[in-house]
Chain A
Amino acid sequence: MLKKLLFLIALIIAANSCTRDDLCSEATQKTSKLVIAFKNFNNPLEDKSVSNLTVITDIGEVIVIDNESTDSINIPMNTAADITAYRFIKNSNDSVNINVDSISFNYLRVDEYINRACSFKTVFYDLNAIVVSEDDNWIRSVEIKNDTIENEDEAHINIYH
């Protein structure tokens, strides 16, 4: 009887000491970023890299993508406002061919509970993207593929250029 009791005490101590609850695991899906794929305007099925792309926030000018030539980017959305505006700068290292386009993304936000260690995440619904038109837009069109931003598995937006 006493041995069983001691075993139970040991079991309880063991159960108490190592739990997965106190750390927010890497594998857990937190607030998702916006995934953008760049496509060829003349051949919409073809991926097309943007040369020396830099992406900065419109307010505060925080650099999110720094001078990369890529056909796909993940950028964060503001979890405290229903709009996030970015400047997409093509040829950002070239003072002659540099071209700045602005896109503002608007959406609805819903905060979802994850677990006690990770707390909450924001899911964005009804995503909309508006390209600020100017004389010389390098972005020709924007297509919303998935208007709910919940995970980063697939592109939410295609940008044709």
Chain B
Amino acid sequence: MKMKHILIFIISITFTSSFSVMAQEESTTLNDTIAKTEKYGLRIGADLSKPIRSFFEDDYSGFEVMADFRVSKKFFAAVELGNESKDRFEENLKSSTSGSYAKVGFNFNAYNNWLGMNNEISAGLRYGFSTFKQELLGYGIYTEDNTFPNTFVENPIEYKGLTAHWAEFIMSIKAEVYTNLYLSINLQLKRKVSEDKPENFNNLFIPGFNRTYDFSEFGVGYGYTLSYLIPIFKK
């Protein structure tokens, strides 16, 4: 009984003493991190999902570069520039679209970082603009009858100088994976505001907007971005 009490005493002494030593050490390192400055500035990057898609999908190629700039503690001005081309070879409709786009807007970071951390969960808005060309390569004529052989017309028509405008809601999660290097995923919900429709055809794909829907003005997209922060400001 006596022995047991002594044991407990020894154990608790060693533990508390070691803890107090550890705590001592930690507090000194903590003092160091507090001294760390907040850094921000221009962040530039590229969407990795588009080159990956270009590699795996024969009928797609595209790239996108982005930049954002912290204008206040929570707000970032953001811009994305890209180029995409997409072929749609359906059985009865073959078309191809290519062009460039720009998206301008802002992100609002809703994530409260611990001191020294630079992660983001943000929501943003963009105005999107695209200029592109669309080619109608061939089409089948839909008849509900096979008295006459089916007609497939291959008479390529090119519709140049088309434009489209849309508004975009973007949500993203950003993490600093290495000093000044960020990885982020984002999801985009878009709504067309206006577009030039080619005569006697339609825009099946709009660069930056993605595929369109015949019965809806909405579109969706995603991105997987690697970006680098040029720390212009430190405080």
**A positions within 8 Å CB-CB of B:** 1-2, 4-5, 8-9, 11-12, 15-16, 19-21, 24, 30-31, 33, 57, 62, 64, 76, 78-80, 84, 111-122
Contacts and interface: CB of A to CB of B under 8 A. Distances in A.
Interface of B: 90, 92-93, 110-111, 121, 139-145, 147-149, 151, 153, 171, 173, 187, 189, 200-202, 204, 213-216, 218, 220, 222
A119 B213 contact: no
Q: Is the interface of A mostly helix, strand, loop or mixed?
A: mixed
Contacts of A20: 214-215
Contacts of B216: 19
B141 A31 contact: yes
A5 B110 CA distance: 12
Nearest to A20: B215
Contacts of A117: 214
Contacts of A78: 148
Contact of A80 (B139, B148, B171): B148
A119 B93 contact: yes
Contact of B145 (A16, A76, A111): A76
A87 to B, nearest CB: 13
Closest 6 CB pairs of A and B: A119-B92, A76-B145, A30-B142, A31-B143, A119-B93, A78-B148
A123 to B, nearest CB: 11
Contacts of B220: 12, 15-16
A134 to B, nearest CB: 24
Contacts of B110: 1
A95 B174 CA distance: 84
A113 B200 contact: yes
28 contacts: A2-B121, A5-B171, A9-B187, A11-B189, A12-B222, A15-B220, A19-B213, A21-B214, A31-B141, A31-B143, A33-B145, A62-B147, A64-B147, A78-B148, A79-B141, A80-B149, A84-B148, A111-B139, A111-B200, A112-B200, A113-B202, A114-B142, A115-B214, A116-B93, A116-B204, A118-B142, A120-B139, A120-B140
Contacts of B201: 113
